[in-house]
Amino acid sequence: MAKNIFISNALPQEAVGLIPKDFTLDYNDTDSPLSKTELVSRLKGKDGLVCHIISTIDDEVLAAVPTLRVVANVAVGYNNIDVAAAKRRGVTVTNTPDVLTETTADFAWTLLMATARRIVEADHYARSGRWTAWKWDLLWGADIHGKTLGIVGFGRIGRAVARRALGFRMRVLYHDAVKADAAVERELSATATDLETLLREADFVTLHTNLTPETRHLIGKRTLRLMRPSAVLVNAARGPIVDEAALAQALGEGWIAGAGLDVFEEEPKIHPDLLPLQNVVLAPHIASASRDTRIAMATLAVRNCVAVLEGKPPITPVA
Ligand code: GLV
């Protein structure tokens, strides 16, 4: 049986090199997202797709490519894919869990610490020539150790974030539709709570939920109003979980103290009201972007695609 793969954007050679010689490969070796028309036209007659989150695989795309058997997303999140439609059409969808858990948790902490200790402002100040004498009240930030961390979404990444909080001797609250086992709660010293209590009590709130209709704008005017004026919000999950306009207002008017954001509602656009604010640290969706992890994600996605086309079970199918 023919095995034709389309890779819709650039991937490291470590991953592309895993495609067996008897497969046919069409490869868009660039970082530019393809339009839906280009995507469908390149996908025509293909059996497998390896794609990034910048490709939207909706029912229209799936309907236009009836030969497709597998969509391998190079990401743990898969809100760019209509999984229900894929299932209906017998297309396997895979993602890249586990390999990015620790790296993403590291980065959530990077944002948390950078925001709390104002490291971006400090860097700009140190370079600016304005630093003429040591000043005892220069760039005061917030302590992290001993404070309360609120984790919204207590899956793999949320738990890895909690594990790091042990070293900071923090009180950890979490909110998730599924309560963790008592042993996990004990190991991570984490307590389940409702969202409102978490938002009211946490000094740091970090988001690690999937983007679903239920979590879209979970953090908006109402929920931001529940947070402490000294609180910091971290989002390294998906942009639309936060209502960016409401967040910009909250940061501008001091409802909360700061935010560290890796993801945005309409990437690569950032809400213009966030850009002038000093109390927000912005990153261009790089939470999993360590060299090792990005290569591990890409190789896992290719291995998933190849497995399905060789008639084997996918390694990490989307549930
Ligand atoms: C990145 O955003 C991912 O979901 O892996």
Q: Pick the catalytic residue from 175, 208, 285, 303.
A: 285
Are 153 and 209 spatial neighbours (Cβ–Cβ below 8 Å)?
yes
Q: Are residues 116 and 176 in the same domain?
A: yes
Q: Are residues 130 and 235 in the same domain?
A: yes
Per-residue pLDDT of the chain (319 residues; tens, 9 = 90+): 669 999 999 999 999 999 999 999 999 999 999 999 999 999 999 999 999 999 999 999 999 999 999 999 999 999 999 999 999 999 999 999 999 999 999 999 999 999 999 999 999 999 999 999 999 999 999 999 999 999 999 999 999 999 999 999 999 999 999 999 999 999 999 999 999 999 999 999 999 999 999 999 999 999 999 999 999 999 999 999 999 999 999 999 999 999 999 999 999 999 999 999 999 999 999 999 999 999 999 999 999 999 999 999 999 999 7
Q: Are residues 68 and 157 in the same domain?
A: no
Pick the residue whose CA is nearest to atom 3 on ligand 1: 75
Q: Are residues 93 and 135 in the same domain?
A: no
Distances (CA, A) of 236 to 122, 205, 210: 22, 11, 11
Three-class SS state of 43: helix
Identify the DSSP state of 142.
-
Q: Are residues 91 and 107 in the same domain?
A: no
Q: Are residues 241 and 153 in the same domain?
A: yes
Domain around 189 = 101-282
124 in catalytic set: no
Residue 259: inside a domain: yes
CATH number, domain of 255, equals: 3.40.50.720
186 in catalytic set: no
pTM: 0.97
Q: Are residues 84 and 109 in the same domain?
A: no
